[in-house]
Amino acid sequence: MHVCMIMSSYHGENTFQSGAELQAHTQIQLLKSLGCKLTVITKKRSSQSQYKEIVNRTIIYRVFPTGLRSIRAALLLFQHRHEFDVVHIHGQHLFSTPVILLCRLLAIPTILKITIAGQTTSPMALDKLLPKGWNPCRKLVNGVSRLTSAYLAISTEIVDELKSQDIAPDRIVALPNGVNTERFHPVTAEEQQQLKYKLGLPPDKKVMLFASRLIERKGYDIMLEAWRNIHLACPSTVLMLVGKGSPEAVHALEQLQQELGKDSIFYKGEVLDTAPYLQASDLFIFPSRQEGLPNALLEAMACGCACVASDIGGCSDLIISEKNGLLFPSGDPAGLVEAVKLMMSKSEQMETFGQKAYETVKANHDIAIIGKQLLQLYHNLLDGKKPVTINR
C-alpha cells in the first residue's frame, strides 16, 4: 500500500517542531515496517530545503512559494494520482483544502486527522484580519473538510467537537496517538541514578521534569509560578526543564533560578532525544492549557514517571486521577502545588502511579498497536467499509 501524508511541517528524521509532526514520523516508521510505501508532501521552510529527497525510504516533497503551496501540493498529488492508495492529512488547515477537493474528484480515500482540540472552531490566521465572528476561511475549510472519507479524532474532546459540528458518528474514527515503547520505557533504580549523574543532576534529589516548549499554551508560566511554593514545600526536589524557549522565556527562568538558587533549577534547552531525561526523572509535570493527545505525556508515562497533569481533554483520556497519576485544574498554579505535594507525600504512591502509567500506555498506546489499527483503517476505506469498524 502506498500512503501519501500531507502535513504543514515535516523536518525529517531528527528535528520535530510539533507533537503532530513527531506523531506523524512515529506512524511513518511503523507503517514502513508493516510493508507500506510512504510519501510526504509538506511546506518548504527554507531556501536550503530540497524539493524532493528520500530519507530512510520515505519520499519527501517540499513545496513553495508561500501563498501557492496548497495549489502546488494538489498539483503534485494529481501528478502522482495513480500511485497513492490513501491520502492521510495531519491537521485541518488551508494547505490541505485543495487536496481534499482533488481526492474527492479522483476517488482517492482521505483521512483528516484533527491534531488539537478546538481546531475546527478557532478562527484561522486570515480570519483574524476581519471583523470578529466572520471567519470565512474557517467556514470554507470546515465545509471542504466534510468531503473527506473519515475524520481521525485522537481524544474524547475532539470526538465531541466533531459531533457538535454535525459530523456523522460513523465517519469519526477515535484512534489515539501512539508511542514507541522500545525507545521510551522504564529503567531500573540503578540505571536512573546513573542517568542523573550523566545529566548533571543531584542523585539524592527527586527530579521533577517539564519537557515542552516554553510557551503559554504549554503552561510554562504556571510551572514557574508553582515552583516557588513547591521548592519551599518539597526541598528534596529539583526542577529540570527541557524544551525550546524564546529569550524572554529563558530570561524569566534565569531570574527564578537566581532567586531560588542555581541548584534548584536545571535548564537543558532543546534536545533531540528526551528519553534519558524522562528516565532520569521521578515526577513529570504537564500544565498545558490545550492539547490533542499529548505526546510528551505519553512518553513520560511510557517511561514509568509519576505524572501530574492539567485536567484538559487529552490528559484526562490518559490519566485517571489517583489511579495512574494526578490531575489538577487547568491554569491553576495553586492546584499544581497541591497535587505535587500530595504526590510527594507518599513515595510508594509515586512508584505505583508510575507503574500504572506505564501499564496504561503499554496496553493502549504502543505504536505497534496503533499502527496496525491505522493500517486496518486504510484497508477499510479502500474496501468501501465504514471507517469506524477498526478493531480496538
Ordered mean pLDDT values, 10 residues apiece, the chain (392 residues) = 94 71 93 97 84 93 83 94 97 92 96 96 90 91 96 97 94 96 97 97 96 96 96 95 94 93 93 96 98 97 98 97 97 98 90 97 97 95 75 50
How far is it, in rounded angstroms, from Cα 55 to Cα 66?
Answer: 24
Q: Which of 141, 89, 78, 96 is nearest to 111 (CA)?
A: 89
Concatenating the DSSP letter of every residue in 211-226 gives ES-BSGGGTHHHHHHH
Segments in 303-366 forming alpha helices (H): 315-318, 333-344, 347-364
Cβ(279)–Cβ(191) under 8 Å?
yes
Which three cell numbers mark 264? 534548584
How remote is the C-alpha of 98 from its chain's centroid? Answer: 25
What pLDDT shows up at residue 384? 85
CA contacts within 13 A on the Cβ side of 130? 11
| pLDDT of res. 47 | 76
Looking at residue 262, what is its pLDDT? 87
Q: Are 31 and 374 in contact (CB under 8 A)?
A: yes
Q: State residue 14's pLDDT score.
A: 63
Residues in Cβ contact with 148 at an 8 Å cutoff, skipping those fewer than 6 apart: 89, 100, 103, 110, 111, 112
The pLDDT assigned to 13 comes to: 64
DSSP H or E segment with residue 78: helix 69-79
Grid cell 492546584 in the structure block, residue: 335
The whole-number pLDDT of residue 18 equals 79
Give me the phi and psi of 21, to 5 degrees please: -65, -45
Asked whether the beta carbons of 299 and 278 are under 8 A apart, the reply is yes
Cell numbers standing for residue 220: 510554562
What Å distances lie between residue 88 and 2, 15, 210, 349, 368, CA to CA? 11, 21, 31, 41, 18
Cis-peptide into 65, omega within 30 deg = yes
Please state the separation of Cα 165 from the chain's center in Å.
23
Residue 388: per-residue pLDDT: 60
pLDDT of residue 354: 97
Contact in structure between 91 and 118 (CB atoms under 8 Å): no
**Alpha-carbon torsion (361, 316, 381, 78), positive or negative:** negative
Whole-number Å distance between alpha carbons of 160 and 120:
11
CATH 3.40.50.2000 domain position(s) in the chain: 2-178+366-389, 189-364
At 386 the pLDDT is: 72
CATH for the 2-178+366-389 domain, from 2.60.40.10, 3.30.70.20, 3.40.50.2000, 1.10.1740.10: 3.40.50.2000
pLDDT at 286: 99
Tell me the β-bridge partners of 150: 111
* pLDDT (0 to 100) of residue 69: 87
Instruction: Outline where DSSP puts E strands in 44-126.
Output: 52-55, 58-63, 86-90, 110-114
Please state which CATH number belongs to domain 189-364.
3.40.50.2000
